[in-house]
Amino acid sequence: MAESDFSEYTLSAEELALAFSLVNRPDLGKGVLFETFGEMAPQALEERLKAAGHSLLARNLAYLAVSGIASISDDLQFALTPLLLYEGLIQMVLNWGEPQIINIHLGKKARFTGHWIEQGVVHRLVTGSLSHLADWISRAVSLPEHLPDEVTQRMDGKSLLLSMETLANLPEMQQIEGLEVLRIAGLYPDLAEALLADAQQPESRGTISYVPMSSDMDQINDFTQPVAGLLFLKGKLSWLLTFPRQTVQEGVLRCGTDAVLRASVRELLEKREHAFA
């Protein structure tokens, strides 16, 4: 995977809103502005959008045709297209102190675009081929390539079932209670101690899930419904829990290596809501 496999953009809320308007989706532009600033006086809005237009032109993300009509660059339009026409959504929630939600739209032409917001007003976009999405997610999550042999040898081939609720509650459990829960799940005592310690003091953690929604759907998706996905936890060791789309979300605990993450993401992309069943 090379950096050139992906294109990344940083836009202000006003720049993104104007870009949406220039691809005939002013409704999305208005939504971005309202979510960011609330109600605005028409004159203040006009001034902000005028400044955003100058900024896009200066950064070669927009241009003026001979007729004087403004258009966005082909590259930026290429990045925006999966946000407008998509079949499925990968939602990543990454926790490095503060949670960061990244919505990855799976475009209809084998492209993806990820979108997230930083500091409430800065919009980040990354776009690339769907065939390289697992690579980008791997880079974003950054799990180790290898774990100690004594860990992988005892984890490989075992079907260790654990619910998401249990894993999420481990940080609040007392030592004895947490170790007993993990022992019942089938974890060796020393691995149970390591998992409990990592859950209580993680370096990073998060979830990656498939949300069955598309640009063709009229209704707003209910994000409270069960989804298929995975949960990762990185501490002194790294762990990964894959879970199917079912009401009681019980999954399989695996070694949290980069190879396992990539394979799990590929299954999620291939089977979507039927992954890990």
- d(C-alpha 255, C-alpha 237), whole Å: 9
pTM of the predicted protein model: 0.91
Task: Classify residue 221 by its DSSP letter.
Answer: P
Q: What is the pLDDT of residues 78-115, one digit of tens each?
A: 999 999 999 999 999 998 777 899 999 999 989 999 99
39 is written with which tokens? Answer: 């109600």
* Confidence (pLDDT) at 218: 59
Cβ partners under 8 Å of residue 100, min gap 6:
93, 94, 116, 118
What's the first-to-final CA gap in the chain, in angstroms?
29
Q: How many C-beta atoms lie closer than 10 Å to residue 193's C-beta?
A: 15
Per-residue confidence (pLDDT) for residue 200, from 0 to 100: 92
The tokens describing 200, both together, are: 């209580």
> Residue 161 in 3-state DSSP?
strand
| Cβ neighbours around 276 below 10 Å, total | 19
pLDDT of residue 222: 58
5-32 mean pLDDT: 95
pLDDT digits (tens, 9 = 90+) for 43-58: 988 999 999 999 999 9
Enclosing H/E stretch for 211:
strand 204-214
pLDDT digits (tens, 9 = 90+) for 120-166: 889 999 999 999 999 999 999 999 999 999 898 888 767 789 988 88
d(CA 196, CA 173): 9
- pLDDT at residue 277 is higher than 90: no
Angle between helices 133-141 and 258-271 (to 10 degrees): 140
pLDDT exceeds 60 at position 219: no
Between 42 and 209, residue with greater pLDDT: 209
Domain boundaries in the chain? 3-141, 149-274
pLDDT of residue 179: 94
**2 falls in which pLDDT band (50, 70, 90)?**
low
Whats the size of the chain, residue-wise? 277
Residue with tokens 């695996």: 254
Identify the residue with better confidence: 25 or 68. Answer: 25
Mean pLDDT of all residues in the chain? 91
User: Minimal CA–CA distance to 103: which of 133, 113, 111, 10?
Assistant: 113
Give the C-alpha separation, 184 to 206, whole Å. Answer: 24
Counting residues of the chain whose pLDDT is more than 90, the rounded percentage is: 74
pLDDT interval class at 69 (50, 70, 90): confident
Asked if residues 111 and 5 have their Cβ atoms less than 8 Å apart, the reply is no
Tens digits of per-residue pLDDT, 183-202? 998 899 999 999 999 999 99
Q: CB within 8 A of 184, min separation 6: which ones?
A: none
